[in-house]
Structure 1
Amino acid sequence: MERKSKGLSVWQLAMLALGTVVGGSFFLGSSVAIRAAGPSVLIAYVIGGFLVYFILTALSEMTVANPASGSFRTYTEQAFGRGAGFTVGWVYWTGLVLAMSSEATAASILIRGWYPRLSLPLLGIAIIVLVTLLNLLGAERLGKLESGLAAIKLSAIAAFVVLAVWLVARMWTGGLPAAGGQGAGAAAGYGALRGEPWMPGGIGGIAGSMLMVMFTYAGFEVLGLAASETRNPAVTIPKAIRLTMVLLIGLYLAAITALFLLIPRSLVSEEISPFVSALTLHGLGWTGTVMNIVLVTAILSTMLASVFGLGRMLRSLAEEGHTPAWMKDRTDIPYRGILVSGGAMLAALGLGLLLPQGVYLFLVSSGGFSLLFVYVVIMASHYRLRKRHGGPFGQGRGMRGFPYTSWLSIGGLIAIIVSMPLIPGQGGGLVAGLMFLLVFAALYAVGRIRRTSPVQSRKPTRQLSPVRPISPGFANAELSEELTEQKTKK
């Protein structure tokens, strides 16, 4: 397939993962988690990091042993049967198509802030067409582009941390008036970690922040899904996982800590990026424009990686007979899967213009459910396949703490899914996600009945073929809902 003789290095894989993970949910959506948990949101980020590590380790263990085209969809099919593989693949594809169409709307709103005369629908169409065409260039070129976009986002976080340290140091030495002379509010911001309760919402606050924290980590699975692009997956993937986790958790914790050194929780607004609020409080209001540029970059990066995964998911579904035969791609790049996914995103964008706003956001929010649902499926599939295998899939010892870490991860993810209705705007995501789950399960059941009827000739079940894994992106539906609602208010 698209496997290259040279392959991706550990650093390239880590940069690809960081580029896909660090998206709009962190730059804007983290304010929801901060409001819920206060400074103790740092604990939520650590817990989320452990969950990510175990999910990623489980996925990479399966991927190194069998670099299959459908990745988690294929492993689900191996563990639980064709019906489960069909349902998981289509729930993921549908949820992500809807979420990414909303991401296009979010980016359009940001761009139109600079160019008010541009048409919002035309901007959305142009963005979707652009990311679709770029995906047709192939994995190697797309990886280079993603690395460039990742550099912008990571540099923005690192610059914020350095700037925060500089501001705090200036205030300590008396060289800078607190928050540019804004008085008590600035002093509270400077002393936030000392002057505010560490856990203002208690354990419930930490639990309530976990949904948005997991959204900010979304996209990490690209590491486990890129095994066939590496020189030596058994060596490269584990090293890339360790490097990514150190950089990701380190940057996140440093950035959130810097936030609390500059601004109190009470001044964080869910409608404005907390990074913009913190710097504006200290007389750096011009950072709003810079942060909007970073937000657009983050959204485009998310969409590029997501379309990459959507195309390969369709190819995997087609290869297993779960789509019409004409969707099968026999080239290295899944052109048909990419084009069909791009077309579906355009159709979903049209739904946003035709349907009432509430109905559209109800459908779009299913992207968050599909993401968490996939993570549960990854852990459940790994658990069942490893039990069936009788031990680790490779020569190593596999995931640490098995099976206890599997049980804890699955339980934690289910608890986060159940908590979705407690977060404003996410209850609809749970309902919509469950709706799609039931619809696709029913479609498979109906199709199976038709295939096994006397009129139909039953086709032999295909063997799962070890071909190239996919790289699904990550749902940032919360960011899109925030920006879309702002557009509606205007």
Structure 2
Amino acid sequence: MNSHPQPQLKKELKIRHITMISLGGIIGAGLFIGSGSLINTTGPGSIFSYAFAGLLVILVMRMLGEMSTANPSSGSFSTYAKEALGPWAGYTIGWLYWFFWVIVIAVEAIAGANIIQYWFPSLPSWGVSLALTFLLTMTNLYSVKSFGEFEYWFSLIKVVSIVLFLLLGIAIICGFIPGIDSPGTSNLLHKGGFLPNGISSVFLGIALVMFSFMGTEIVATAAGESSQPEKAITIATNTVIYRILFFYLGSIFILVTVLPWNSSSLMKSPFVSILELVNVPAAAQIMNFIILTAVLSCLNSGLYTSSRMLFSMSQNGDAPKSFSKLNKKGVPVSAILACTVISYISVIFNYISPDKIFLFLVNASGGVALLVYLVIAFSQIKMRKKYEKENPEALKIKMWLFPYLTYATILAITSIFITMAFIDSLRSQFFLTLLIAVLVVGSFFFQRTKVTSGLASKENTSK
């Protein structure tokens, strides 16, 4: 018998932390910057792209909420995949998700450095990137509560900024701003129509938009360190509809109504353009600060999420046991440092070879979000049947219209993933993600064969 139980993470995240993480987790730099490019390509109909992608995320979050309330875990969907689909699935999706987030940490650190260079152009980008990663690593190393506090305030800034932006946009549309005429429906209907580039551009937009919502699922991981995990997950799951409707669809509706979809200002920064429209002083400075906050929030969350996934995989035997060690404050120091080191290396790759090695890493992680969503859906089908048979009381949250909506979600996500292969800008991401996925699956079976051979060899020797 094992007299040493596995170490447990401290449950220091409060409901206010989880609530704000769930609110802010859906607001990334992609909304502030990337939305302009999509609107410029798709037109006002881009709101359909965001709506359909948002619907899929709502359904996936409902599935994840169902499993998480029944069994809160820091390993989240990796743990559920292992239980539902087998050890290979938990191992594969865990490492793919970890890979995605350590690359995101590097990408966000570089983006943060570029923003800071706007104010301090003499600072070297690589140095600022490493400094930002180091500073947020310190907050994660200190305690999970310090991570929660930083994320609480980062998220609060993002949420307040979006709310003020929406109020400003409504005021412009309603003609409440002196000296600015209400655009009415002119930008929506009278510049080539609502779908100036056809319905196909909307489907193209869906594939591009799906990645903007990555991070919504972090709350399921964070709930594992909450003193009230069931309440935390219930709040996050039940409010995801309103978060997507309010923050994403609300923002996109304001943008496509106030600004012409073919305006060059959309490619610069649509949010800055609207602030400049109403003569807000230092509009670019204000938006740069908000985007920097979004970037640092994503970096902070990336360090937290990747380290907890590594910690959970270590406990499950899918990663070296050293990553499951906790310090006195219940923080997986080795796991956090391992994620940080990989990010440091990625930042160095960006400095040495931005167009080859670093671009390869970024593209290779591009389709991971869709694979994660697929695994969550397949896991939910198996786990739902298991809970209904063994412990129906555990199902505090249930997926709607099960199993039909789950199958429909699987079909939609699979279609989007395959579509990536036919989109020039996403084709490399599709094939590189497949390559990384095949390598990870291969490493699982290679490792398993090696362990089996080792055990067989020991048994023969003992005989």
Q: Same fold (TM over 0.5)?
A: yes
What residue in structure 1 maps to residue 14 of structure 2? 8
Aligned mate of 2:296, from 295, 300, 305:
300
SS in 1 for 2:288: helix
Is the contact between residue 15 and residue 147 of structure 1 (CA under 8 Å) also seen in structure 2? yes
What residue in structure 2 maps to residue 488 of structure 1? none
Distance 1:396 1:97, change over 3 A: closer
Question: Which blocks of at least 5 consecutive residues in structure 2 are unaligned?
Answer: 1-7
Distance 1:18 1:368, change over 3 A: farther
What residue in structure 1 maps to residue 4 of structure 2? none
Is the contact between residue 230 and residue 236 of structure 1 (CA under 8 Å) also seen in structure 2? yes
1:408 aligns with 2:408: yes
Tell which deviates more after alignment, 104-113 or 262-271. Answer: 262-271
Alpha-carbon distance in structure 2 between the residues aligned to 1:243 and 1:274: 27
Distance 1:458 1:428, change over 3 A: farther
Partner amino acid, structure 1, of 2:347: L
1:106 aligns with 2:106: no
Is the contact between residue 14 and residue 244 of structure 1 (CA under 8 Å) also seen in structure 2? no
Tell which deviates more after alignment, 432-441 or 196-205. Answer: 196-205
What residue in structure 1 maps to residue 203 of structure 2? 207
What residue in structure 2 maps to residue 261 of structure 1? 257
Is the contact between residue 135 and residue 142 of structure 1 (CA under 8 Å) also seen in structure 2? yes
Tell which deviates more after alignment, 154-163 or 308-317. Answer: 154-163
Alpha-carbon displacement from aligned partner over 1:163-190 (angstroms, at most 9, x marks no partner):
223334447x8x4155xxxxxxxx9797
Distance 1:60 1:188, change over 3 A: closer
Is the contact between residue 105 and residue 124 of structure 1 (CA under 8 Å) also seen in structure 2? yes
Partner amino acid, structure 1, of 2:14: L
Aligned mate of 2:151, from 146, 154, 160:
146
- Alpha-carbon shift at residue 400 of structure 1 (Å): 0.8
- Alpha-carbon shift at residue 339 of structure 1 (Å): 0.7
1:372 aligns with 2:370: yes
- Alpha-carbon shift at residue 396 of structure 1 (Å): 4.2
Alpha-carbon distance in structure 1 between the residues aligned to 2:324 and 2:230: 29
- Alpha-carbon shift at residue 84 of structure 1 (Å): 1.9
Alpha-carbon distance in structure 1 between the residues aligned to 2:262 and 2:414: 30
Is the contact between residue 28 and residue 212 of structure 2 (CA under 8 Å) also seen in structure 1? yes
Question: Where in structure 2 are the equivalents of 1:425-464 lying within 5 Å?
Answer: 425-453=425-453
Alpha-carbon displacement from aligned partner over 1:411-454 (angstroms, at most 9, x marks no partner):
12122222334555432222221111111111112111111116
Is the contact between residue 193 and residue 260 of structure 1 (CA under 8 Å) also seen in structure 2? yes
Tell which deviates more after alignment, 395-404 or 375-384. Answer: 395-404
Alpha-carbon distance in structure 1 between the residues aligned to 2:345 and 2:379: 33
What residue in structure 2 maps to residue 361 of structure 1? 359
What residue in structure 2 maps to residue 221 of structure 1? 217
What residue in structure 2 maps to residue 474 of structure 1? none
Alpha-carbon distance in structure 1 between the residues aligned to 2:19 and 2:264: 31
Alpha-carbon distance in structure 2 between the residues aligned to 1:438 and 1:45: 30
Distance 1:191 1:310, change over 3 A: same
Partner amino acid, structure 2, of 1:192: N
Alpha-carbon distance in structure 2 between the residues aligned to 1:458 and 1:386: 40
Over aligned residues, Cα RMSD in angstroms? Answer: 2.6
- Between the two proteins, what is the percent identity of the paired residues? 29
Alpha-carbon distance in structure 1 between the residues aligned to 2:104 and 2:223: 26
Distance 1:106 1:425, change over 3 A: farther
Alpha-carbon distance in structure 2 between the residues aligned to 1:166 and 1:271: 23
Partner amino acid, structure 2, of 1:260: V
Distance 1:15 1:397, change over 3 A: closer
Tell which deviates more after alignment, 266-275 or 431-440. Answer: 266-275
Alpha-carbon distance in structure 2 between the residues aligned to 1:208 and 1:48: 11
What residue in structure 1 maps to residue 335 of structure 2? 337
Alpha-carbon distance in structure 2 between the residues aligned to 1:142 and 1:322: 25
Greater relative contact order (Cα 8 A, min sep 6): structure 1 or 2? 1
Is the contact between residue 101 and residue 345 of structure 1 (CA under 8 Å) also seen in structure 2? yes
1:122 aligns with 2:118: no
- Alpha-carbon shift at residue 403 of structure 1 (Å): 0.6
What residue in structure 1 maps to residue 190 of structure 2? 195
- Alpha-carbon shift at residue 33 of structure 1 (Å): 2.5
- Alpha-carbon shift at residue 346 of structure 1 (Å): 0.2
- Alpha-carbon shift at residue 253 of structure 1 (Å): 2.2
What residue in structure 2 maps to residue 176 of structure 1? 179
Aligned mate of 2:380, from 375, 379, 382:
382
Alpha-carbon distance in structure 1 between the residues aligned to 2:417 and 2:209: 13
Is the contact between residue 21 and residue 219 of structure 1 (CA under 8 Å) also seen in structure 2? yes
Tell which deviates more after alignment, 83-92 or 124-133. Answer: 83-92
Q: Give the structure-1-normalised TM-score.
A: 0.84
Is the contact between residue 77 and residue 85 of structure 1 (CA under 8 Å) also seen in structure 2? yes
- Alpha-carbon shift at residue 240 of structure 1 (Å): 3.1
Distance 1:243 1:87, change over 3 A: closer
